[in-house]
């Protein structure tokens, strides 16, 4: 049985990270989302794929929110980063790498 990777719980358990981008000229603010506090607020079974547009609509750019001339909503996108290697690099024998 394959696991569906779409809920906050699945992203947290698998070590994914999600960044939000405010793709507006003059801003381009990006920030990593705190998945644990999102899971606390929305519930760990919140499905980010199913509720994609509602989720994006709920996001607000924290930088633009401080300036009344700017619109902190809209043009926000999220990007999923795959889990980084949970190891500390100990499995890699770098001593044989030449030319670095």
Counting contacts by CB under 5 A, is residue 56 touching Zn ion?
no
Report the distance separating Cα 4 and Cα 71, nearest Å: 34
Q: How far is the CB of 31 from Zn ion (least distance, A)?
A: 10
Query: Which one of 29, 31, 75, 78 is in contact with Zn ion (CB under 5 A)?
Result: 29
Locate 60 and state its tokens: 């607000």
Query: How many helical (H) and strand (E) elements, i.e. helices and strands, does the chain have?
Result: 3, 3
Q: Does 76 sit near Zn ion (CB under 5 A)? A: no
Residues that bind Zn ion (CB under 5 A): 22, 27, 29, 61, 63-64
């Amino acid at each position: 049985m394959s696991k569906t990777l779409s809920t906050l719980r699945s992203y947290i358990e698998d070590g994914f990270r999600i960044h939000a981008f405010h793709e507006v000229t003059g801003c381009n603010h990006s920030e990593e989302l705190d998945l644990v506090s999102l899971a606390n607020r929305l519930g760990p079974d919140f499905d980010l794929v199913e509720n994609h547009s509602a989720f994006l609509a709920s996001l607000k750019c924290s930088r633009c929110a401080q300036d009344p001339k700017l619109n902190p909503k809209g043009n926000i996108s999220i990007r999923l980063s795959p889990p980084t290697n949970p190891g500390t690099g100990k499995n890699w024998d770098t001593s044989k790498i030449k030319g670095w």
